[in-house]
Structure 1
Amino acid sequence: EFEADAFAAKHTNADDLVSSVVKLYRDNAATLTPDKLYSAFHDSHPSASIRIKELKRHA
């Protein structure tokens, strides 16, 4: 996810990508800040909050 996000941020607007990530998680009824321990064992993708923090570094 991070490599894909970094590539997209490099070639588009990172702020728009942040909005897209938030919309994707909301549309899929996913929490933006899940429990870190649960996520470590059960989630295949990083949480939205972590992805957003990384995207903002590329803005």
Structure 2
Amino acid sequence: MRIAADTDLCIGAGQCVLTDPELFDQDDDGTVVVLDDHPTGDKEDSAREAVNLCPAMALSLRD
């Protein structure tokens, strides 16, 4: 699994960071930064949750 982030869609809501700050951060403009784009184990569940919570649908998962 790989996390993909479309920074053009990101609105800086920060739900991803709140879901898992080990996987996501935000830059100075509030745009998502993926810290670990290949999560494993429990982090896969966190990544799925972050994708589902993103109000801008800026995150996706790919195999």
Scaled by the length of structure 1, the TM-score of the pair is 0.31
Relative to its length, the structure with more strand (as a share) is 2
Structure number with the bigger relative contact order (C-alpha 8 A, sep ≥ 6) is 1
Between structure 1 and structure 2, the one with the greater Rg is 1
Structure with greater helix share of residues: 1
